[in-house]
Amino acid sequence: MQRLECPIDGCSATIEAETEQEVMAQAEEHANSSHPDLELDDETVENIRSSIIQV
């Protein structure tokens, strides 16, 4: 199981899924709906990916 806690200050969203790809897909959906001003450029995506932990 993979887990990602939203890195945006003040956001307590947590995403859990079986694979990193599933976590990243859910993270993109979360970012689009909850943080529409967040630009998902390569650096941001890599920072998000590096925050995923194995649980």
* Mean pLDDT of the 39-49 span: 96
Residues 20 and 27: their CA atoms lie apart, in Å, by: 10
CA-only gyration radius of the chain, Å: 10
The pLDDT tens digits for 7-36 are 999 999 999 999 999 999 999 999 999 999
What was the pLDDT predicted at 30? 98
SS (H, E, C) 1-55: CEEEECCCCCCCCEEEECCHHHHHHHHHHHHHHHCCCCCCCHHHHHHHHHCCEEC
Tally the domains of the chain.
1
pTM listed for this prediction: 0.92
Query: Residues near 36 by Cβ (< 8 Å), separated by ≥ 6?
Result: none
Domain that holds residue 49: 2-54
